[in-house]
Amino acid sequence: MAGKIVAVCTSEKKGTRKRNVGEGMLVPDHGLKGDAHAGEWHRQVSLLALESIEKMRDKGLDVHPGDFAENLTTEGIVLVDLPVGTRVKIGAEAEGEVTQIGKVCHDRCAIYYQAGDCVMPKEGIFIKVLRGGQVRVGDMVDVMQYV
């Protein structure tokens, strides 16, 4: 199972939409360099499928990669089907391990109020970075070990 990266997104503050910067450095046991959500915890990097974003577009929203505060927007891989513990290779060198599927959305975001729904809490996944490396738009995301 494989997909590709269509956006690499960062933000300086938590709780805000992220901006597609096109490339970034995944740092072991930290996350995406320069991103507000990076740190020593289990949700170092967030991933959301473009297919999930398109579901929200189908509801009439003008949304784009990064609008759901995800770090990596992917295409062609069903992220929510990857169980916790699954290892993925991202780009030429980086590796991560799925640590969480979805999240509790304590505060309803602007997307939720506009559409009555949000995909990140149900369809986004989180990984911790096991091996660092540069990641760019167009890089592959390969499932290395499916748990």
pLDDT score at 104: 61
Question: Full-prediction pTM beyond 0.85?
Answer: yes
- For residue range 43-100, list pLDDT tens digits in order: 999 999 999 999 888 888 888 999 888 999 999 999 999 999 999 999 999 999 999 9
pLDDT digits (tens, 9 = 90+) for 101-141: 986 665 655 545 444 556 776 889 999 999 999 999 999 99
Among 52, 68, 43, CA closest to 127 = 43
More confident: 110 or 40:
40
CATH of the domain at 137: 2.40.33.20
**Given pLDDT bands bounded at 50, 70 and 90, which one contains residue 16?**
confident
Domain range holding 107? Answer: 2-145
pLDDT value at residue 98:
97
Q: Which burial class, exposed, middle or buried, applies to 88 when counting CB atoms under 10 A from its CB (0-12, 13-18, 19+)?
A: buried
**Amino acid found at 127:** I
Number of domains making up the chain: 1
Question: What separation, in Å, do the N-terminal and C-terminal C-alpha atoms of the chain show?
Answer: 13
Nearest to 37 by CA among 7, 69, 5, 79: 69
pLDDT at 115: 45
